[in-house]
Structure 1
Amino acid sequence: MPGYSLSDSKDTHQRRGELMPYTITPLLVGVRNVDQGIMTYQQGYGKRIWLPMWAFLLREKGGEGRTVIVDTGLEDFVNPPEFIEDTGLEALFMDEALEQQGLTANDVDAVINTHLHDDHCGNNPMFENTPIYVQRAELEACLHPHPLDYRYEPSFVEDLDVRPVEGDTEIFPGITLMATPGHTPGSQAVKVETEDGPVVITGMCCSGENFPENGPAICPGVHCDAFSAYDEIQKLKALRDQGATLLPLHELSLAGKTIG
């Protein structure tokens, strides 16, 4: 297929050495109004919630000064007036969100997709000259989707510099990809070293309600394999219990925060 390779995932940009901390800034690049049940399996059905779409801007403090984007949000959307009234927030198109940070797409050194559903990779084509890291299993699911999964579109990866990885992989010092299959065949979390300690951007669609203080984490309401999704989200909660900070992919309270 043109534009990407399913060959060896080892990237010539990868290097080992001293870990450099990053800052993480969530960028609001889309919003939908959905049922709570799509976040929390067998819980909350019938309750409508605002679902933010985040792109996470990672900036390296020192080292090579890398700028990395985790997920690229929706390509097109409408800001519901009710969302603005309820939250005081307004989602931006990706180019506007980058401009607000003093950046353009050309300033981004790498893109990471946690998975290839439309709300996490819709703006991938903006980064046509940028390496895009995704799990091999997820790339293949996007190219050959199951008939029941309508949210994959090959145009999200066609003619782009996609770098497939397999399993847990450190792609740069301070940034490690962690396979978390279950929500999708190849969803992945992103562990980022910051001055505030390790931060994990969850690789499956969830919010803060998926991680109660007591008891097990709650499986995402949308999944291709509920057993795997349940097991993987327990691992994420265990990382939080060990001191890592979790950034759920659809947590509304991330607005306005910078971590690290």
Structure 2
Amino acid sequence: MAVWRIKPIHVGDVYGDFSFNVAYTDMGHKWWVPVYVWFLTNGEQKVLIDTGFGDPDEANRLQSLFEVRTPGPLAEILREKACSPEEIDIVIFTHLHWDHCGSTDLFTNAELFVQREEARFAVAPPDFCGVAFNSPAIGRTPSWLGHPLSLLDGDAQILENLSVITTPGHTPGHQSILVQTADKLYGLAGDLFNLYANLKPQGRVKFVPPACLDFLAWYHSARRLHAACDEIIPGHDPAVQEEWIG
């Protein structure tokens, strides 16, 4: 049975309002939140979950609500900590917000997976959220546009012990990743849960959302992922270490 190992890789940071990560909390408080990509390998295949925000100068120019910084080009970071971009067999996008799907051109040999509903929405979202997708609807060209995409219609098995589960709410076609390692089944949340604070809030509620387009859909997705795996890893928490998991 093929099992996977997971390596979170820190590829940059985004400076913005804390309430984007825990809705309606500490509004006005700005902080740097880490951006990760997630390298998975079973000893044969190499998979990357999300691809970061791409060129930082372009991101700073296009994203007026945020500031970004990066320790270096994504290709160099991957070569140092995992493998070259050309060696990646599969890229899975949790969703198509600007900080999760940059630098697609690097992955010349990879099959790109995303939910069909996410791609459909990202091309022509309502104008109030077009910037979040760098959408063609507002005259921009996201890095994934023009690349062949493997469009998924719901939950799907990608490889043995590696699957996606639909978790809409943050975006309409958001998906999270289920990864079987040697010791447990992990759920890579993407932006379903940005922080451990979303998973373990103070008070009587079980979960607290990040910024979402549909809070009710998010709530059902949160419960769904929680029931589907042994442990959830949030998408942007500073406590996530760049160490092998599993």
TM-score w.r.t. length of structure 2: 0.85
Q: Is the 8 A contact 2:18 2:31 kept in 1?
A: yes
The 10-residue stretch of structure 1 (21-30 or 93-102) with the greater mean CA deviation from structure 2 = 93-102
The 10-residue stretch of structure 1 (208-217 or 143-152) with the greater mean CA deviation from structure 2 = 208-217
* 1:99-141 deviation digits (Å, cap 9, x = unpaired): 1135211100000000000100012221133210000000111
Provide the secondary structure at the position in 2 that maps to 1:27.
strand
Provide the secondary structure at the position in 1 that maps to 2:35.
strand
Provide the secondary structure at the position in 1 that maps to 2:10.
strand
Provide the secondary structure at the position in 2 that maps to 1:151.
helix
Q: Does 1:235 align with 2:224?
A: yes
* Structure 2 match to 1:216: 206
Q: Distance in 2 between matches of 1:172 and 1:210?
A: 29
Provide the secondary structure at the position in 1 that maps to 2:40.
strand
Aligned counterpart in structure 1 of residue 189 of structure 2, from 161, 186, 202 = 202
Q: Does 1:182 align with 2:169?
A: yes
Alpha-carbon offset, residue 157 of structure 1: 2.1
Q: Distance in 1 between matches of 2:158 and 2:146?
A: 22
Alpha-carbon offset, residue 257 of structure 1: 2.1
Alpha-carbon offset, residue 235 of structure 1: 2.5
* 1:69-89 deviation digits (Å, cap 9, x = unpaired): 0000011227xxxxxxxxxxx
* Structure 2 match to 1:21: 3
Percent identity for Structure 1 against Structure 2: 26
Alpha-carbon offset, residue 148 of structure 1: 1.2
Q: Does 1:94 align with 2:74?
A: yes
Q: Distance in 1 between matches of 2:218 and 2:244?
A: 28
Give the gaps of 5 or more residues in structure 1: 1-17, 79-89
Alpha-carbon offset, residue 217 of structure 1: 0.8
- Higher RCO, 1 or 2 (CA under 8 Å, sep at least 6)? 1
Q: Does 1:159 align with 2:139?
A: no
Counterpart code for 1:39:
N
Q: Does 1:138 align with 2:110?
A: no
Q: Distance in 1 between matches of 2:109 and 2:155?
A: 25
Please identify runs of 4+ aligned residues in structure 1 that moved more than 6 A. Answer: none
Q: Distance in 1 between matches of 2:97 and 2:106?
A: 16
* 1:127-174 deviation digits (Å, cap 9, x = unpaired): 133210000000111222221111223533223121000111111111
TM-score w.r.t. length of structure 1: 0.80
Aligned length: 225
Provide the secondary structure at the position in 1 that maps to 2:128.
coil
